[in-house]
Amino acid sequence: MKINEFKVETWMTDHENDCQYNLTETCVSSLSLSELQQFVDENIMETLMSMKMDYGPIVGSQRLKKAILSLYEKGNEENITIAHGAINANELVLISLLDSGDHVISLFPTYQQMYDFPRSLGCDVSLIHLNEEQGWMPSLDDFKKVMQKNTKMICLNSPNNPTGTTIPLSLMKDIIALARENDCYILCDEIYRGVDTENEVMFPSFSDYYEKAIVTQSLSKVFSFAGLRLGWIKGPKEVIDLINYRRDYHIISSGPMDDYLACLVLENKESILKRSIDICKQNKKILQKWLDQEPLVSCVIPRHGTVCFLHYHIDIPSKELCEKLQKETGVFFVPGSAFDTEYHLRFGFTQDEKIIKEGLITFSNWLRQYDHQSIDIIL
Ligand SMILES: Cc1ncc(COP(=O)(O)O)c(C=O)c1O
């Protein structure tokens, strides 16, 4: 199976450990087990120390599935299975449902797995190019234009990495109606769901509105526990059965420790999500204040998720800019080129506000070599 390089992941691996100001992180500042302990009554260490290290519940414990279902309006245990992060959840959905020759629709720019993984399976992929002037939002017409008789799946990521765009409920319903007419699946990677900085209410999930919707999520981003490598899939029972059949070849289980700790994280989701919302809200304010003062960068700041896509206005390719910037100042971004979209940088609202402030000021000082203005940024 031939597959294209996963550009954003390669970039992160090669650059993230060698920076002073990580302004591109997608995971809200990660939590430790002792921080988790502060949210719960039971003694975590005691439970872990006495835990038998067998495979644990193969497709996830009942307790974990119940905790996952609390994030949705509908569904029961047979609609859920567990994966190694959302990356494995997406992969399991795609390999279980797609065959060579199937037609797939995906957004662009988005998480590369959504279009290049189906391509690697021999699928024919139509891309909907998102437009910054439209707030990176697709329209129903965009979907109608690319829909075909043999469209098997619409692959979405909402909120989207790298733009942060979230498909509103009205458009969600229109896309569902179109998918239903064509009897096609919708896969929505909802890994950034749960952080709404205007209204602290869980945004609707595709899986609660469409009988052929499959959604994926994990603890990595809004729950601050990427290290658990714990993700899940919610979908129709027959799809979950198919995935479980495949899954035996891939992961067997996610292990009893991860299963147990994931229960604790999700059973305390209100406190953890509140923390994430507060961090993102504060960093969005800082970013907006910075954008108001920085003439060489613009951006549509999204309401949901943990990232946005900065547009810079100097004539230098994004990979070159990022490499030079990181080497000279320690400021780290993922370049737009990792999403095949030039003159952009992915920004994350996720880190300590001190890092965000100092990083943005350092970036502005560095940018002055391109316009020779004298600007005193105050954040
Ligand atoms: C849209 C999207 N899906 C999946 C993943 C992988 O997440 P996980 O850590 O849950 O495997 C990422 C990570 O950046 C992502 O941005």
Domains present along the chain, CATH in parentheses: 7-32+270-369 (3.90.1150.10), 53-268 (3.40.640.10)
pLDDT computed for residue 1 by the predictor: 79
* Ligand 1, atom nearest to 218 Cα: 10
- Per-residue pLDDT of 205-221, as tens digits, reads 999 999 999 999 999 99
Which of 11, 113, 191 has most ligand 1 atoms within 8 Å of CB, for mutation? 191
User: Which of 13-17, 85-89, 163-167, 310-314 bottoms out in mean pLDDT, i.e. has the lowest?
Assistant: 13-17
Which of 11, 117, 161 has most ligand 1 atoms within 8 Å of CB, for mutation? 161
- For residue 252, count other CB atoms closer than 10 A to its CB: 12
* Ligand 1, atom nearest to 12 Cα: 14
Q: Is 374 a residue whose pLDDT tops 90?
A: no
pLDDT computed for residue 123 by the predictor: 97
| Helix runs in the chain, H state only | 7-15, 33-39, 44-49, 62-69, 85-97, 113-120, 140-146, 169-181, 237-247, 256-267, 269-293, 318-329, 353-371
Distance from Cα 115 to the centre of ligand 1, integer Å: 14
Distance from Cα 312 to the centre of ligand 1, integer Å: 25
- For residue 49, count other CB atoms closer than 10 A to its CB: 8
Q: Is 323 a residue whose pLDDT tops 80?
A: yes
pLDDT computed for residue 189 by the predictor: 98
**Sequence-ordered strand ranges (E) for 130-219:** 151-157, 185-189, 213-218
Which of 218, 250, 258, 349 has most ligand 1 atoms within 8 Å of CB, for mutation? 218
Mean pLDDT of 2-26: 94
Mean pLDDT across the chain: 96
Q: Using the CB atoms, write b or e for 321-354: b if 16+ within 10 Å.
A: bbeebbeebebbbbbbbbbebebbbbbbbbbeee
pTM of the model: 0.97
Mean pLDDT of 86-109: 98
pLDDT computed for residue 300 by the predictor: 87
DSSP secondary structure of 85-98: HHHHHHHHHHHHH-
Q: Is 373 a residue whose pLDDT tops 80?
A: yes
* Ligand 1, atom nearest to 111 Cα: 1
Closest C-alpha to ligand 1, atom 6 = 87
Share above pLDDT 90 across residues of the chain, in percent, rounded to a whole number: 96
* Ligand 1, atom nearest to 230 Cα: 10
Which of 90, 157, 189, 221 has most ligand 1 atoms within 8 Å of CB, for mutation? 221
pLDDT: is 201 or 31 the higher one? 31
* Ligand 1, atom nearest to 219 Cα: 10
Residues with CB under 6 A from ligand 1: 26, 85-87, 111, 157, 161, 189, 191, 218, 220, 226, 231
Distance from Cα 281 to the centre of ligand 1, integer Å: 21
Q: Is 99 a residue whose pLDDT tops 90?
A: yes
The order of strands in the sheet holding 297-298 is: 297-298, 307-312, 344-348, 334-335
pLDDT computed for residue 26 by the predictor: 98
Mean pLDDT of 220-244: 98
Mean pLDDT of 6-30: 95
Cα(280)–Cα(217) distance, rounded to whole angstroms? 19
pLDDT computed for residue 202 by the predictor: 85
Q: What confidence category does residue 326 fall into, taking pLDDT thresholds of 50, 70 and 90?
A: very high
Which of 87, 187, 250 has most ligand 1 atoms within 8 Å of CB, for mutation? 87
Closest C-alpha to ligand 1, atom 7 = 86
* Ligand 1, atom nearest to 217 Cα: 10
- Per-residue pLDDT of 163-218, as tens digits, reads 999 999 999 999 999 999 999 999 999 999 999 988 877 899 999 999 999 999 99
